[in-house]
Amino acid sequence: MSKKIVLMVVVFAFAKALVAQSTVVELFTSQGCSSCPPADELLADIEAQYGADVITLSYHVDYWDYIGWKDPFASRAFTLKQYAYAEAFGSSGVYTPQAVINGNSHFTGSDGRKMGRALKENKISDGGALSLGEIKKTGNKLFTNYTLPNATEANSITFALTLKERTTAIKRGENRNRTLTNHNIVIDQTLVEAQQEGSIQLSIPAWVAASDALTIVAYATKDRVGIIDAVTKEVL
């Protein structure tokens, strides 16, 4: 192996070491938005490259549904979540694709260079305390307990149920005749006031198959924005 190749390997390893464990990337996207597929692909690339070091969430908003294609994963609740971020960031409006990093910075979700810098520069300083207990399933309901010893430092905890992957043939709208694959799709979510311990419930939509891979993502937030702790657990 040449010295040049060795140097490239060392630099790459160092760059990955700079990424904080459990950095959270929230992508606001839509199957009805022609600018979104590159951002969806970037989200998948992040997961493949960084693994558990970065938690990725795909929130599908509903304000593109009018243009001819109704996104099957879109939710008005996710649109309102994005508007809440816009208000907190002092933005004049919302847009897709939008990436939000650890709840405290945002940019166009398909911008790979900005994403790379954000993953190196943003980190959760107080992570490691939030944990999830055993996940129990009854019908289409999931139940679990959580603990957050440093609850006094947080205002709220968000629990998101994610679907690992789904491919959709788009028949109308800006992406008509395209086949899109989305990753880590949020399919249900609940928000609770931060406490040292508690229990939550999430619902599995009827269209989810028994073979689909599901994960619960939990993250604690301070002062509306700013994620201070995060954890994931697979639904077995």
* Other beta carbons less than 10 A from residue 184's beta carbon: 24
3-class DSSP state of 196: coil
Backbone angles phi, psi at 68, to 5 degrees: 130, -20
* pLDDT at position 126: 62
* Other beta carbons less than 10 A from residue 21's beta carbon: 14
- Start-to-end CA distance of the chain, whole Å, equals 43
DSSP secondary structure letter of residue 30: -
Cis status of the peptide bond prior to 97, with omega within 30 of 0: yes
Beta bridge partners of 230: 219
Q: What average pLDDT score do residues 71-96 get?
A: 96
Kindly indicate the confidence band of residue 122, based on its pLDDT and cuts at 50, 70 and 90. confident
* Other beta carbons less than 10 A from residue 152's beta carbon: 9
- Report the candidate in 204, 162, 203, 169 with the shortest Cα–Cα distance to residue 183: 162
Cα separation, 42 vs 210, whole angstroms: 27
- The residue ranking higher by pLDDT, 4 or 91, is 91
- Report the candidate in 137, 145, 144 with the shortest Cα–Cα distance to residue 212: 137
- Report the candidate in 47, 41, 196 with the shortest Cα–Cα distance to residue 119: 47
* pLDDT at position 124: 82
Total count of residues recorded for the chain: 236
Summarised one tens digit per residue, pLDDT across range 42-59 is: 999 999 999 988 999 999
Are 46 and 54 in contact, with CB atoms under 8 Å apart? yes
Given a cut of 80, whether residue 85 has pLDDT beyond it is yes
Name the least confident of 68-77, 113-122, 124-133.
Answer: 124-133
Cα separation, 229 vs 122, whole angstroms: 13
- Report the candidate in 125, 186, 169 with the shortest Cα–Cα distance to residue 150: 125
pTM of the model: 0.89
Summarised one tens digit per residue, pLDDT across range 154-213 is: 999 999 999 999 999 999 999 999 999 999 999 999 999 999 999 999 999 999 999 999
Q: Is the dihedral of CA 177, 182, 187, 189 positive or negative?
A: negative
For the chain, list the domains and their CATH numbers. Answer: 3-235 (2.60.40.1930)
Kindly indicate the confidence band of residue 2, based on its pLDDT and cuts at 50, 70 and 90. very low
